[in-house]
């Protein structure tokens, strides 16, 4: 497993980004990253990100380790100095490439831990000591290569002097603590050096006598040639210049910006979390505008079909189909049972009131989770329409009975091969329904469509929960394909010229081809599939925030909490908007040009919070690299946001829960 993970990491994260040196690639494959991580972080060892380690420090992203090693052009007989040993991981990689490695670390506990790990793994050619890395290791000089794993305001003079003639020094240098250029400096003579800039980077600050001080100050004047002659306009400044300010959410003019998408067939509205009030209210305002002025008739959301169908009957003023069954009773209840959604549903109901049935706006669920409810819906429809067919369907669905209430356990049936019988049975029920389309649809086309969709969902869910047992991208892909297929069938069902608004998480509606989800994990998503199917007739609109509160749980199935959202990371997309002073605004991404487009085509971290939020491992759990300009057509920004207001999730003592019909 370790070898497979390592091979995957090297191929996807390193080779694909242009590292070609075969010795560097071999070293990256060989060194086991998890061996240098704290126990709690080992599950993230082969993720494409920097990781926290002991003493509040970080382990560099694998690509950066490989990129710097390749830039240093290390030969097998070289002596190498590493400044900032950290966990010892990069020193081990260098130990695979060089004859001797000298690594300096200013934290004594980290240095001891790194030396212990390296010794236990057999690296006898790597020495670690405690010291000020900006002063180098004079008694071991000169060095054929020096690599600094932290960024300073200038290249320390001590490191220049310890470089052998012909030696290469690789170091991030910048005029701020979190924005640098990666430099390669070659010593060409006693007093002569050649310098080239490799790329823009973001490293932790280099603390020391010739670096930054611990309080953030610069310890001395810059050396000529170390910094750019003048600072260009920053990315936050460029973003602020072109982002259109938006009025308050209660102002009807808030939706004016989104009129430009009124001619699209599908408009997909995202969210950076499943528990943020501003995202729900903004999507409601935009959707109202698209319905009222541009003829959109479908609201399709990242929710279970049977529960959303109950809400659809409410907004279209139809009687409840199954009595007082509580809807959205499954975790996470607050995602749709909240006051923001309730207000939008009431608006839809009022809007629909004067229209004939075929002109009313529908509310539909796209998701795949509701196995039990969908089985009940299919059987309920058949009991009313064709009792004999219901009897047969009940027998066929019997194989799923033990797992209906906890379908994730269904994957274990794979081990006994019983799933093959279930797969055939659930598909047979769907086939029977479709074969009798004309007979059933003539009686009640809407109820027939609902029954067929539930049967499709059972078939998809059977596969989904079976695949989920093994993990990987296939389960995600099946879920998003199901959502896409459901959307397409809704458009077909509502007829030519029908138009849909989709509410789903950014991870579903932002084109996966421009994110780590697609490039590194082979995942596709709803936004990508819509672009491939509808082309320019699909618009994807993402949402983001810097900080505030969010409704979320600490783990699956645990109670909802109102949690503080940490301020966005300095190297994230969100921080660029925050640093630009954008309070509330929208950026049209497919219209940007020049330097701003170049910046937004570069990879940066973006935050994804679902129904679970783990602030203590936020980087590993909630951030992924994206190219914002390709991911979305527009991006909506709220600098500070608040948690949704959940409705009660269970019946009160006064009677049954009949939301939304009885509230």
Structure tokens at 535: 């082309």
Mean pLDDT calculated for residue range 491-499: 92
Q: Over 70: is that where the pLDDT of 182 sits?
A: yes
Query: How far is Cα 146 from Cα 185, in angstroms, rounded to an integer?
Result: 10
Mean pLDDT calculated for residue range 259-267: 97
Q: Beta-carbon neighbour count of residue 462 at 10 Å?
A: 24
Q: What backbone phi and psi angles, to 5 degrees, belong to 302?
A: -75, 70
* pLDDT for the residue 418: 47
Check if the beta carbon of residue 66 is closer than 8 Å to that of residue 14.
Answer: yes
What confidence tier does 199 reach under pLDDT thresholds 50, 70, 90?
A: confident
Query: How far is Cα 35 from Cα 127, in angstroms, rounded to an integer?
Result: 18
Q: Over 80: is that where the pLDDT of 284 sits?
A: yes
* pLDDT for the residue 319: 77
Q: Over 50: is that where the pLDDT of 471 sits?
A: no
* pLDDT for the residue 12: 83
The residue ranking higher by pLDDT, 2 or 546, is 546
What confidence tier does 444 reach under pLDDT thresholds 50, 70, 90?
A: low
What confidence tier does 331 reach under pLDDT thresholds 50, 70, 90?
A: confident
Query: How far is Cα 418 from Cα 412, in angstroms, rounded to an integer?
Result: 9
Mean pLDDT calculated for residue range 504-510: 95
Check if the beta carbon of residue 465 is closer than 8 Å to that of residue 459.
Answer: no
pLDDT 10s digits, 618-650: 888 899 999 999 999 999 999 999 999 999 755
Query: How far is Cα 116 from Cα 123, in angstroms, rounded to an integer?
Result: 10
* pLDDT for the residue 650: 53
**Secondary structure (H, E, C), 122-147:** CCCCEEEEECCHHHCCHHHCCEEEEE
Instruction: Label residue 285 left, alpha or beta by phi (over 0 means left) and psi (-120 to 50 means alpha).
Output: alpha
pLDDT 10s digits, 122-174: 999 999 999 999 999 999 999 999 999 989 999 999 999 999 999 999 999 98
Check if the beta carbon of residue 21 is closer than 8 Å to that of residue 74.
Answer: no
Q: Percent of the chain, pLDDT > 70?
A: 78
End-to-end CA separation in angstroms for the chain: 53
Structure tokens at 84: 């900032």
* pLDDT for the residue 404: 41
What confidence tier does 469 reach under pLDDT thresholds 50, 70, 90?
A: very low
pLDDT 10s digits, 203-227: 888 999 988 887 655 545 444 344 4
Q: Over 80: is that where the pLDDT of 392 sits?
A: no
Mean pLDDT calculated for residue range 218-242: 61
Query: Measured at the alpha carbon of residue 326, what is the angle toward residues 324 and 329, in degrees to the nearest 5?
Result: 170
Least confident of 190-194, 311-315, 379-383: 379-383
Q: Over 80: is that where the pLDDT of 443 sits?
A: no
- Residue 583 has what DSSP assignment? S
pLDDT 10s digits, 307-318: 888 899 899 988
Q: Over 60: is that where the pLDDT of 461 sits?
A: no
What confidence tier does 228 reach under pLDDT thresholds 50, 70, 90?
A: very low
Q: Beta-carbon neighbour count of residue 192 at 10 Å?
A: 9
Check if the beta carbon of residue 308 is closer than 8 Å to that of residue 642.
Answer: no
Per-residue CA distances from 477 to 502, 517, 618 (Å): 18, 11, 24
* pLDDT for the residue 425: 61
Per-residue CA distances from 71 to 62, 85, 146, 186, 585 (Å): 14, 18, 11, 11, 41
Structure tokens at 478: 């099946």
* pLDDT for the residue 380: 66
Structure tokens at 81: 């100095």
* pLDDT for the residue 386: 65
Chain CA centroid to CA 309, Å: 28
Q: Over 90: is that where the pLDDT of 342 sits?
A: yes
Least confident of 82-91, 174-183, 366-375: 366-375
Least confident of 316-325, 368-377, 509-518, 538-547: 368-377
- Residue 175 has what DSSP assignment? E
Mean pLDDT calculated for residue range 100-110: 95
Question: Is 60 one of the annotated active-site residues of the chain?
Answer: yes
Nearest Cα to 246, choosing from 277, 290, 291, 282? 282
* pLDDT for the residue 39: 87
Q: Over 90: is that where the pLDDT of 111 sits?
A: yes
* pLDDT for the residue 415: 39
Mean pLDDT calculated for residue range 351-369: 89
Least confident of 376-385, 416-425, 507-516, 551-560: 416-425
- Residue 225 has what DSSP assignment? T
Q: Which one of the listed residues 60, 277, 372, 374 is annotated catalytic? A: 60
* pLDDT for the residue 522: 81
Query: Measured at the alpha carbon of residue 347, what is the angle toward residues 344 and 352, in degrees to the nearest 5?
Result: 125
Check if the beta carbon of residue 87 is closer than 8 Å to that of residue 53.
Answer: yes
What confidence tier does 338 reach under pLDDT thresholds 50, 70, 90?
A: very high
| Tokens 């599950």 sit on residue | 43
Query: How far is Cα 449 from Cα 475, in angstroms, rounded to an integer?
Result: 25
* pLDDT for the residue 89: 96
Q: Over 70: is that where the pLDDT of 333 sits?
A: yes
When the pLDDT of each residue in the chain is averaged and rounded to a whole number, the result is: 84
* pLDDT for the residue 323: 54
* pLDDT for the residue 411: 41
- What are residue 83's DSSP bridge partners? 104, 148
């Amino acid at each position: 497993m370790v070898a497979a993970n390592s091979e995957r990491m090297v191929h996807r994260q390193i080779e694909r980004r242009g590292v070609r040196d075969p010795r560097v690639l071999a070293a990256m494959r060989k060194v086991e990253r998890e061996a240098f991580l704290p126990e709690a972080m080992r599950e993230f060892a082969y993720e494409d990100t920097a990781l926290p380690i002991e003493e509040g420090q970080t382990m560099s992203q694998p690509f950066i380790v490989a990129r710097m090693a390749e830039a240093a052009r290390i030969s097998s007989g070289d002596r190498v100095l590493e400044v900032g040993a950290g966990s010892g991981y990069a020193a081990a990689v260098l130990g695979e490439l060089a004859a001797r490695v000298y690594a300096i670390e200013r934290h004594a506990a980290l240095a001891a831990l790194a030396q212990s790990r390296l010794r236990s793994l057999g690296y006898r050619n790597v020495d670690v000591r405690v010291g000020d890395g900006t002063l180098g290791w004079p008694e071991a000089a000169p060095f054929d290569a020096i690599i600094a794993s932290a960024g300073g305001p200038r290249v320390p003079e001590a490191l220049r002097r310890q470089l052998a003639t012909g030696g290469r020094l690789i170091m991030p240098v910048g005029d701020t603590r979190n924005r640098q250029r990666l430099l390669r400096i070659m010593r060409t003579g006693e007093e002569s050096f050649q310098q080239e800039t490799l790329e823009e980077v973001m490293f932790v600050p280099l603390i020391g006598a010739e670096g930054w001080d611990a309080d953030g100050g610069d310890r001395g004047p810059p050396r000529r040639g170390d910094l750019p002659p003048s600072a260009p306009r920053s990315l936050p400044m460029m973003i602020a210049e072109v982002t259109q300010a938006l009025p308050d959410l209660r102002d009807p003019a808030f939706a004016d910006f989104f009129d430009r998408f009124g001619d699209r067939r599908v408009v997909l509205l995202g969210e950076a979390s499943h528990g943020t009030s501003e995202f729900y209210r903004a999507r409601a305002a935009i959707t109202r505008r698209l319905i009222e002025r541009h003829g959109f008739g479908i609201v399709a959301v990242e929710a279970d079909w049977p529960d959303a169908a109950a809400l659809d009957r409410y907004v279209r003023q139809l009687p409840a189909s199954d009595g007082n069954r509580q809807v959205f009773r499954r975790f996470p209840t607050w995602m749709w049972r909240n006051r923001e959604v309730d207000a939008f549903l009431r608006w839809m109901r009022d809007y629909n009131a004067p229209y004939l049935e075929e002109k009313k706006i529908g509310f539909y669920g796209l998701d795949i989770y509701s196995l039990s409810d969908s089985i009940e819906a299919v059987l309920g429809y058949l009991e009313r329409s064709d009792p004999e067919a219901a009897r047969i369907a009940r027998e066929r669905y019997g194989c799923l009975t033990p797992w209906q209430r906890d379908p994730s356990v269904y994957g274990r049936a794979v081990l006994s091969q019983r799933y093959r019988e279930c797969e055939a049975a659930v598909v047979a029920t769907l086939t029977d329904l479709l074969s009798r389309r004309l007979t059933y649809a003539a009686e009640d086309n809407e109820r027939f469509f609902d029954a067929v969709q539930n049967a499709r969902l059972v078939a998809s869910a059977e596969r989904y929960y079976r695949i989920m047992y093994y993990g990987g991208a296939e389960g995600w892909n099946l879920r998003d394909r199901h959502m896409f297929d459901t959307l397409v069938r809704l458009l077909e069902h509502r007829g030519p010229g029908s138009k849909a608004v989709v509410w789903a998480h950014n991870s579903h509606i932002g084109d996966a081809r421009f994110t780590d989800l697609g490039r590194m994990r082979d995942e596709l998503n709803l936004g990508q599939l819509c672009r491939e199917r509808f082309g320019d007739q699909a618009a994807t609109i993402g949402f983001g925030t810097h900080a505030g509160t969010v409704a979320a749980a600490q783990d699956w199935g645990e109670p909802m909490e109102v949690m503080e959202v940490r301020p966005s990371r300095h190297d994230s997309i969100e921080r660029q908007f925050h640093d630009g002073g954008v309070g509330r605004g929208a950026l049209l991404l497919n219209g940007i040009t020049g330097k701003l487009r170049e910046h937004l085509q570069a990879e940066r971290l973006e935050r994804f919070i679902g129904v679970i939020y783990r602030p203590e491992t936020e980087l590993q759990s909630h951030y992924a690299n994206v190219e914002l300009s390709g991911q979305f057509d527009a991006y909506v920004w709220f600098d500070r946001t608040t948690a949704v207001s959940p409705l009660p999730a269970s019946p009160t003592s006064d009677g049954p829960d009949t939301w939304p019909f009885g509230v």
